[in-house]
Structure 1
Amino acid sequence: MDQSITLVGYGEAGRTFARAAGWQSRAHVFDMQNLDDAFAEDRVCGCSTLAEALLGSNYAISVVTADQALVVAQDVATTIASGTLFFDMNSVAPDTKRAAADAIEAAGGHYIDAAIMSPVDPAGIAVPLLISGPHCEDGMEALSALGFTNVRIVGENVGRASTIKMLRSVMYKGVEALTAECLIACEKAGVIDEVLGSFNNDWSAQADYRLDRMLVHGTRRSAEMAEAVKTLEMLGVEPDLTRATVARQAALGELGLNPPPDGLNAKLKALAQ
């Protein structure tokens, strides 16, 4: 596969994919931040404009923050070539995906709703992907050609893949938020060993990892959970707990503990101050 690939966004997901797949100069990357050092290190083609990144590309992958996903799709639609496959891998509500699809399809592009179902590091291009939409058969073939090895079609309607992702996040990221709330209080009360000891070993072992994810990615995850709120509201479910998850994820992300202190006890001492 020697066609160029457009990557919109070069954060954790975009950079992990480019490096794991060995795309190098075939990846034409646009990011709002100055990432020239990262581009040079990974030997990808950094582009100064979105139009430049899309020029001559058959495939475009959008991996940006949730609050920018629709804006990016609308911007891509102004220059996308007819027939280009646009993979929207952002963690947003199904209605947001459908609005993005309308913009891409009206411009002649082919939109695929894609959901990344686990952290991309260390999975890389073996990360589980769900895709849906009328072009998902072509999307499956293209993703395979790009090197992705764990892709599953979940339906012909845009929004189905993202619905699965959003509702899964209600649980997963909600548990993260509850973990932080519980353990910070335990640290302040001096009962952390007793409470952790009352849980099973699997839960306790995951606590350090959950705090890590929020401290490093809490701001981005908060934006994603705001989209989960929209998903629940669309389904007629009052998102009381998920709204609180939005706030807790944002609060931990704003602390600036990146990289986080090493070890659960060190993290909790820093958070309990």
Structure 2
Amino acid sequence: MTLTAVIGLGTMGSRIAHSISAGGHEVRGFDPSEGAREKASDSGITVFDTAEEALQGADLAIISVPRPEHVLASARGPLSTARGAVVADMSTIDPGSAQEAAGILAKHDVTYVDAPVLGRPDKIGSWTLPTGGHEPAAALVRSVLEGTVAKRVVRVGDVGAGQAVKVLNNLMFGAINAITAEVLTTCEAAGVDPEVFVDTIADSGAATVSNLFREIAPKMIAQDFEPAFALELLAKDNKLAIDLARSVGTPTHLAEIIDRVNTGAMDQGLADRDTGAVQELYRSQSGASQ
């Protein structure tokens, strides 16, 4: 049994804590939000009032927070007290921040690996975690998370490589999301029933069809924008992918278009809605809104 601390008990972190606990490991948790701590405590997770208390004696520390600056603040603060532990960062951040966090923690005898999530929150247990870091640390992460929160924990390279895989994957997500909204809005404006289009294409065997299209297209048609994955989070990840591409000197032609679509939809007040809400931007700019 591995003593595991989970720092960040939001949408992802709370699921992670429960799944690890159900797998037979002792789990401690912390979140800066009192409401999140109370909710986790009510559901059976042992929760502490400070991150330092939750981390005391932990073999593995998992962090799941929204943004790179939160990871770095944690590395400079409470995570640095977890001497001898492995930190698995399951947040989605940029590779450079992951490498910076690793450098900070190494000075305190704490080993960092980036292990962001490939998969929807409700698909926990079948996630893939692309992991960047030394193999012995990745092996510890694999021993706890594979079979509990993830189907596969795959070491993809050194620190930062996991985050590169994640943000580039989410750039493809953004592309499919935007083009689906564009196609369905064009169908509507051209007098083709979008539902007929999706029913015809989804199981046609056409090379253009993906599982993501099958998932998001019906939600767009129904204007069901309850967030499975909020647009503001996708937009953040897509910007990280653009930053990565620019840092290594590769072009960002399509990525910049995707960013404009995301930003335009958020400017309409849709940041906290599902990613499919970008269709509202298309509809507002087309004959479909008339």
Instruction: Output the TM-score relative to the length of structure 1.
Output: 0.79
Aligned with 1:241 (options 240, 254, 260): 254
Indicate the residue corresponding to 1:126 in structure 2: 126
- The answer on 1:19 being equivalent to 2:18 is yes
CA deviation after TM superposition for structure 1 residue 190, in Å: 5.0
Question: CA offsets per residue over residues 80-99 of structure 1, 9 Å max, x none?
Answer: 22211001122222112111
How many residues end up aligned between the 2 structures?
263
Greater shift after overlay, 106-115 or 63-72? Answer: 63-72
Paired letter, 1:73: A
Q: % of aligned pairs identical? A: 21
Give yes or no for contact 1:130–1:151 (8 Å, CA) kept in 2: yes
Instruction: Output the TM-score relative to the length of structure 2.
Output: 0.75
Structure 1: give runs of 5+ residues left out of the alignment. Answer: none
CA deviation after TM superposition for structure 1 residue 50, in Å: 2.3
Indicate the residue corresponding to 1:72 in structure 2: 74
Greater shift after overlay, 26-35 or 82-91? Answer: 26-35
CA separation of 1:9 and 1:234: change in aligned 2, threshold 3 A: same
SS in 2 for 1:87: strand
d(CA) in 2 for partners of 1:141, 1:194: 47
Paired letter, 2:125: I
CA separation of 1:75 and 1:245: change in aligned 2, threshold 3 A: farther
Question: CA offsets per residue over residues 29-56 of structure 1, 9 Å max, x none?
Answer: 2244631442133211233322222222
Question: Which of the pair is proportionally richer in helix?
Answer: 1
CA deviation after TM superposition for structure 1 residue 186, in Å: 4.5
Indicate the residue corresponding to 2:206 in structure 1: none
Indicate the residue corresponding to 1:62 in structure 2: 63
- The answer on 1:208 being equivalent to 2:209 is no
Paired letter, 1:54: L
d(CA) in 1 for partners of 2:7, 2:260: 27
d(CA) in 1 for partners of 2:109, 2:163: 22
Greater shift after overlay, 242-251 or 169-178? Answer: 242-251
d(CA) in 1 for partners of 2:67, 2:85: 22
SS in 1 for 2:156: strand
SS in 2 for 1:22: helix
The root-mean-square deviation of aligned C-alpha atoms, in Å, is 3.5
Give yes or no for contact 1:229–1:239 (8 Å, CA) kept in 2: yes
CA deviation after TM superposition for structure 1 residue 139, in Å: 2.8
Indicate the residue corresponding to 2:178 in structure 1: 177
CA deviation after TM superposition for structure 1 residue 151, in Å: 1.2
d(CA) in 2 for partners of 1:179, 1:41: 40
d(CA) in 2 for partners of 1:95, 1:162: 9
Give yes or no for contact 1:222–1:250 (8 Å, CA) kept in 2: yes
Paired letter, 2:129: L
d(CA) in 2 for partners of 1:46, 1:250: 37
CA deviation after TM superposition for structure 1 residue 226, in Å: 1.6
Give yes or no for contact 1:6–1:53 (8 Å, CA) kept in 2: yes
SS in 2 for 1:34: helix
d(CA) in 2 for partners of 1:109, 1:244: 40
CA separation of 1:257 and 1:28: change in aligned 2, threshold 3 A: closer
d(CA) in 2 for partners of 1:56, 1:173: 40
d(CA) in 1 for partners of 2:194, 2:274: 24
CA separation of 1:54 and 1:259: change in aligned 2, threshold 3 A: same
Aligned with 1:150 (options 152, 155, 169): 152
d(CA) in 2 for partners of 1:184, 1:191: 10
SS in 1 for 2:109: coil
SS in 1 for 2:155: strand
Indicate the residue corresponding to 1:115 in structure 2: 116
Give yes or no for contact 2:6–2:13 (8 Å, CA) kept in 1: yes
CA separation of 1:184 and 1:8: change in aligned 2, threshold 3 A: farther
Structure 2: give runs of 5+ residues left out of the alignment. Answer: 204-208
Give yes or no for contact 2:63–2:88 (8 Å, CA) kept in 1: yes
